[in-house]
Structure 1
Amino acid sequence: MATIYQVSELAGVSLSTVSRVLNENDYVSKKTKQKVLDAMEQLGYKPNSIARSLASNCTNSVGILVSELDGAFFGEMMSAIEAQLRAAGKHVIITPGHSEENKEKSGLEFLISRNCDAIIAHVEAVSDEYLVKLNKGKTPIYLISRYVDQMKENCISLDNVMGGYLATKHLLEQGHKQINYIAGPLFKPDAYNRLEGHKKALKEYGIAFDEQSLFVGDFKETGGYKGLQHFFNINKEFTAVVCANDEMASGVMKCAREHKLDLPKDLAIIGFDNVHFTNYLYPTLTTVDNPVEKMGIMAANLVLKQVYKQNRANIEHIFTPNLLIRDSTTRLTRS
């Protein structure tokens, strides 16, 4: 079987020139390109991805690390990244980190060992310092849904403080003052920042934050269910609940119905993310739009621009959330 080295020798050109021909690089003259093609035909050489990788030091593969492989949020994220990279002729290798430091590190090291040209990572447990150090290695790291100042040019993130603020402000504008909050795990930057936004809105309206109004959930439906049940158990009076994501909001709805509450008359509920099922809940869920699909596309475009030198204009690094008002929130009609 002919090799790329034999093609190089027969054509009388360097390996890098053969590589440029294989990768359809425009910087090769027509005459030189034809010599390489003639040599390939004479030798019966059939290019493959491994040969191209050896010749160009480029695997045309991008690693993706996400917290989980299930759930609407991560499904939308992975799908958007993969589709954008595939359209550009790149492949993806996906592995989960499960929001645990050792598993995130193991996942990142696995993707590096697979010689990925770059890694797009949704990581929550590893430190900023670890990411900065890792990014100085041979494989560039791009972060999605996380901001690290020393890597800001490699980050695609959401203003989560603003998102948390918008959610609570909406309820305050509707006359609600007794507002409980179900947070995600607070070691996660998204969860922590959304809670900070909630506190900011309360402060703006002159309402002191009460620790009893807070329940730390798990970003899953079960966390929302347990959170609302907790507030019932401690006899905490409230008229509205802000949830740090839509899955927990759906759990709150389930628990509320088991307690015979009329939604939203008896309890206003707001979520965060705007995943696809929110429009099909009853009542439809008021939520903060987290444009994860757009962010995934932008992360892929950032890699295509910086790593593969493709023309990708207007890279947006920080996205601004929007409030989507539906039927699960309403103006308070009782004191």
Structure 2
Amino acid sequence: MITIKEVAELAKVSQSTVSRALNGHETVKEKNRIKVFDAIEKLGYQPNAFAQALASNRSHSIGMLVGTFDGPYFGPLMHYVEKVVRQQNYHLIITSGHEQYQEEQESIRFLNAKKIDGLVLTSDMLSDGDILDIIEITPATMLMNRYIPEIADQCICIDNELGGFLATEHLLLNGHRRIGCVTGQLSKIDSRERLQGYRNALKEYGVEYDPNLVVEGRFDHGGNDTAVRRLLDRDKSMTAIFCLNDSIALAAYGVCHEFGYRVGEDMSIVGFDNHTYSQYMTPSLSTVNFPIKEMAKEAAKGVLNILNGKKSTGVENRLSPNLIERKSVKNIASVGQIVKKASFTE
């Protein structure tokens, strides 16, 4: 087995210079860095990861806490974070809190026991105070899809309120006034923000908010059929539904079929997230695009920048959603109706 001593002897530098070169220290002269890596190539030296960690006080691992491993949201999130950190020779250790407070706490303790260098965090269960405590232990932390003022530079989120507004506005501009809304869990901040966007759009277009047109569903698949049935049973004059994610919209398609409604004709539907399958639904789903890939990459970049000693995380902290128009919304505006906000005043 080739040792660090042999690399140093071949490169004619000290063992400490080899160690610093392997760990990317800026103090190593470029000519010595070249010598070290030439020697490594000739000898076929494989650095011992544990020894490297001891020498650099780094494990070269990044932790990631997610709510669940299920569904089309967390999969791409994990994929793109891992892709970015691996490009910088870090490994990603992922654990799930299963959307339970105690399990999220246990997951953080597990990651800290692995001596992670940084953390990418998604959590609805942990309090702001809990997260601030975590950052005291692991300063190189980025928080996704949530905002805490004290660590604003370390938070990356999308404008969920704007997304909810855009979805509802699209239905209003197509003549709909009786617009139902199926939310995700209202314990989740992104669900509450999207609902607020729905309410903002109704107000701006002069349509009175009716709480009977809002039912609580879930961002996963559990119970959304029942939630949509409750909504459709409440109001037969409703012509459109804003579903706060695409999984809820998928359930709404099925329930509308049960009720004899044709989506895109008798009932218009807008989703949120723009998951891959939304374009293949029949009819294809109009939805709000959630920039998951961009959020994941910015979070990973932020952690790496902190680890590299940059004063700023250097990331875009607030991402904007956009509306994807497809075939699930019918224009029912009367002939000659002026499509602008004033035309919707009661």
TM-score normalised by length of structure 2: 0.86
Q: Which whole-Å CA distance do the structure 2 matches of 1:218 and 1:2 have between them?
A: 55
TM superposition shift of 1:45: 7.3
Residue 227 of structure 1 is matched in structure 2 by: 227
Residue 87 of structure 1 is matched in structure 2 by: 87
TM superposition shift of 1:237: 3.1
Distance 1:45 1:79, change over 3 A: closer
Distance 1:129 1:97, change over 3 A: same
Task: Classify the secondary structure of the residue corresponding to 1:221.
Answer: coil
Task: Classify the secondary structure of the residue corresponding to 1:143.
Answer: strand
The residue identity in structure 2 corresponding to 1:87 is: Q
Which residues of structure 2 form unaligned runs of 5+?
335-346
Q: Which whole-Å CA distance do the structure 1 matches of 2:34 and 2:203 have between them?
A: 71
Q: Which whole-Å CA distance do the structure 2 matches of 1:315 and 1:293 have between them?
A: 14
Q: Comparing 316-325 with 199-208, which one deviates more in the overlay?
A: 199-208
Distance 1:146 1:5, change over 3 A: farther
Residue 254 of structure 1 is matched in structure 2 by: 254
1:194-218 deviations in whole A, cap 9, x for unaligned? 1111111111122222221111111
1:276 aligns with 2:287: no
1:63-106 deviations in whole A, cap 9, x for unaligned? 11111112111111111111111122111001112222112222
Residue 129 of structure 2 is matched in structure 1 by: 129
The residue identity in structure 2 corresponding to 1:67 is: G
Distance 1:313 1:154, change over 3 A: closer
Does the Cα contact within 8 Å between 2:67 and 2:98 map onto a contact in 1? yes
The residue identity in structure 2 corresponding to 1:194 is: R
Q: Which whole-Å CA distance do the structure 1 matches of 2:89 and 2:311 have between them?
A: 14
Residue 342 of structure 2 is matched in structure 1 by: none
Q: Comparing 268-277 with 69-78, which one deviates more in the overlay?
A: 69-78
Matches within 5 A, 1:32-71: 46-71=46-71
Q: Which whole-Å CA distance do the structure 2 matches of 1:52 and 1:310 have between them?
A: 22
Task: Classify the secondary structure of the residue corresponding to 1:136.
Answer: helix
Residue 76 of structure 2 is matched in structure 1 by: 76
Residue 153 of structure 2 is matched in structure 1 by: 153
TM superposition shift of 1:58: 1.1
Does the Cα contact within 8 Å between 2:182 and 2:215 map onto a contact in 1? yes
Q: Which whole-Å CA distance do the structure 1 matches of 2:243 and 2:18 have between them?
A: 56
The residue identity in structure 2 corresponding to 1:216 is: E
Residue 340 of structure 2 is matched in structure 1 by: none
TM superposition shift of 1:191: 0.6
Q: CA RMSD in A?
A: 3.0
Distance 1:6 1:279, change over 3 A: same
Task: Classify the secondary structure of the residue corresponding to 2:137.
Answer: coil
Matches within 5 A, 1:86-125: 86-125=86-125
Distance 1:8 1:221, change over 3 A: same
Q: Which whole-Å CA distance do the structure 1 matches of 2:30 and 2:299 have between them?
A: 35
Task: Classify the secondary structure of the residue corresponding to 2:287.
Answer: strand
1:226-258 deviations in whole A, cap 9, x for unaligned? 221112333453111001100110010011112
Q: Comparing 57-66 with 32-41, which one deviates more in the overlay?
A: 32-41
Q: Which whole-Å CA distance do the structure 2 matches of 1:159 and 1:140 have between them?
A: 24
Task: Classify the secondary structure of the residue corresponding to 2:247.
Answer: helix
TM superposition shift of 1:24: 4.3
Matches within 5 A, 1:278-317: 278-309=278-309, 315-317=315-317
Identity across aligned pairs (percent)? Answer: 35
TM superposition shift of 1:26: 4.6
1:194 aligns with 2:170: no
TM-score normalised by length of structure 1: 0.89
TM superposition shift of 1:307: 1.1
Q: Comparing 271-280 with 66-75, which one deviates more in the overlay?
A: 66-75
Distance 1:176 1:54, change over 3 A: same
Q: Which whole-Å CA distance do the structure 2 matches of 1:34 and 1:284 have between them?
A: 55
1:122-160 deviations in whole A, cap 9, x for unaligned? 111111121112212244321111111111111111011
Does the Cα contact within 8 Å between 2:153 and 2:313 map onto a contact in 1? no
Does the Cα contact within 8 Å between 1:286 and 1:325 map onto a contact in 2? yes
Q: Which whole-Å CA distance do the structure 2 matches of 1:220 and 1:31 have between them?
A: 55
Residue 321 of structure 2 is matched in structure 1 by: 321
Task: Classify the secondary structure of the residue corresponding to 2:111.
Answer: helix
TM superposition shift of 1:279: 0.5
Residue 168 of structure 1 is matched in structure 2 by: 168
Distance 1:325 1:32, change over 3 A: closer
Task: Classify the secondary structure of the residue corresponding to 2:126.
Answer: coil
TM superposition shift of 1:263: 1.5
Distance 1:314 1:307, change over 3 A: closer
Does the Cα contact within 8 Å between 1:221 and 1:249 map onto a contact in 2? no
Which residues of structure 1 form unaligned runs of 5+?
none
Residue 183 of structure 1 is matched in structure 2 by: 183
